[in-house]
Structure 1
Amino acid sequence: MSQGIITVGTEFPSFKKTAVVSLEKGKEFADISSESFKNDEGRWTVMFWWPKDFTFVCPTEIAEFNNNFDEFRDRDTTLIGASTDSEFVHLAWRNNHDDLRGLKFPMLADTSKSLAEELGILEANEKIAYRATFIIDPEGIVRWVSVYDLNVGRNVEEVIRVLDALQTDELCPCNWEKGEETLTAALAE
């Protein structure tokens, strides 16, 4: 078992997993790896996890991330959803749930649960992932982590707000929103 949730300043763990990327026959699956996080293009990554496919809170979150896909794309950010279910379960769920058929981002399958365990987000009893969100910078470093209880859905607008703040590379006050003034640290005399 991992020693706890990885945190800000930590390099995101290396992985290579299968993901559902399409509903088109013969093009449903693709491999995704941590190497895609490290890039010269300045792209950020948001990876969000949910506990189980075919449940009730999870599709509301996945649909909301999808509804905001363009917001992430406009911020040069790759969006990846993930759970410990298999790629075949992901595909079946996408095919059977109206809100999931048109997903614009991959659904990563961590069937071995190795990545969830390394991230420290594997729930002890059922061995499913907590509702965790990671913002990863272009160098592959975790810049923000958020973990919710299994029964509570997250706020996608807050993920976007934090991403905006991190991308300013400046000091952002409480409740800061994109377009507002950032802070200037006064130098001691």
Structure 2
Amino acid sequence: MKTLISKKAPNFTSSAVLNGKDIVQNFTLEQFFGRKYILLFFYPKDFTFVCPTEIYAFQEKIKDFDIRNVQIIAVSTDTEQSHWAWLQIPKEKGGIYGVTYPIVSDSNKTISYNYGVLSGDWICNQNEGLKATGELIAYRGLFLIDKEGIIRHILINDFPLGRNVHEAIRMIDSIQHYEISGEVCPANWNKGKKSMKASNSGIIDYFSS
């Protein structure tokens, strides 16, 4: 599969839960194009153990994303009813009550497939017809999308490996710094540190603040 980096983010229209309580049927990604940066992340399943740690970690930093004009959107292959039920359960009982950003249902698997994070596969068996090999759920994919709808950063983890929210914020800062200054961000760069200016040939000329 070809990488989606620097490509237009695949749009989708699906059901979602907003503000932890409201189910909507026609939630789209493109409603944010031209207005906001987007952090789109996929997780495997509702009612599991690692997933809520990530979901809450993004919620805990939501003000940091807000001041950077970033819309967080979560996706899994569960139904919107499953999302809603999980959102009603307190954290201490294994739920994700208090999460306010949209959680999208990808029950038909097409969003995960289009973003290249769907585990398992389909095979056509002569005797049984179409058959799934492995569980068709999403890996832990994360996509940073700029205001023009272009994917600028991709991270895909296997199921046991949780993501680092601070690193997602660092990458957003890098994208926005480059857009404003035209300067590139070296390894381990953080907001406020020195960046680098590239010549037209792509060779780094000098450090700058």
Q: If the length of structure 2 is used for normalisation, what is the TM-score?
A: 0.82
Counting only pairs closer than 5 Å after superposition, residues 142-181 of structure 1 correspond to structure 2 as 142-169=151-178, 170-181=183-194
Q: Is the 8 A contact 1:17 1:33 kept in 2?
A: yes
Q: Secondary structure at the match of 2:149?
A: coil
Task: Compute the RMSD of aligned alpha carbons.
Answer: 1.8
What displacement does 1:181 show?
1.4
Equivalent of 2:18 in 18, 21, 33: 21
Q: Are residues 1:182 and 2:182 paired?
A: no
Greater shift in the superposed pair: 89-98 or 44-53: 89-98
- State the match for 2:55 in structure 1: 62
What displacement does 1:101 show?
1.2
Equivalent of 2:119 in 120, 123, 126: 123
Unaligned runs of 5+ in 1: none
Counting only pairs closer than 5 Å after superposition, residues 6-155 of structure 1 correspond to structure 2 as 6-24=3-21, 27-29=22-24, 31-39=26-34, 41=35, 43-98=36-91, 100-124=96-120, 125-155=134-164
Q: Partners in 2 of 1:137 and 1:70 — Cα distance?
A: 18
Q: Partners in 1 of 2:67 and 2:96 — Cα distance?
A: 21
What displacement does 1:153 show?
0.4
- The residue identity in structure 2 corresponding to 1:44 is Y
Q: Which has the higher strand share?
A: 2
Q: Secondary structure at the match of 1:10?
A: coil
What displacement does 1:184 show?
1.7
Q: Secondary structure at the match of 2:4?
A: coil
The higher radius of gyration belongs to: 2
The ranges of structure 1 where at least 4 consecutive aligned residues each deviate by more than 6 angstroms after the TM superposition are none
Q: Percent identity between the aligned chains? A: 36
Deviations 1:143-184 (A, max 9, x none): 000000101101010000011001111200110011111112
What displacement does 1:28 show?
3.6
Q: Is the 8 A contact 1:69 1:104 kept in 2?
A: no
Check 1:172–1:89 CA distance in 2 against 1; reply closer, same or farther (3 A cut).
same
Alignment length (residue pairs): 182
Q: Is the 8 A contact 2:43 2:141 kept in 1?
A: yes
Check 1:127–1:187 CA distance in 2 against 1; reply closer, same or farther (3 A cut).
closer
Unaligned runs of 5+ in 2: 121-133
Deviations 1:4-46 (A, max 9, x none): 5x4211111121011111345xx3435321221321x3x2000
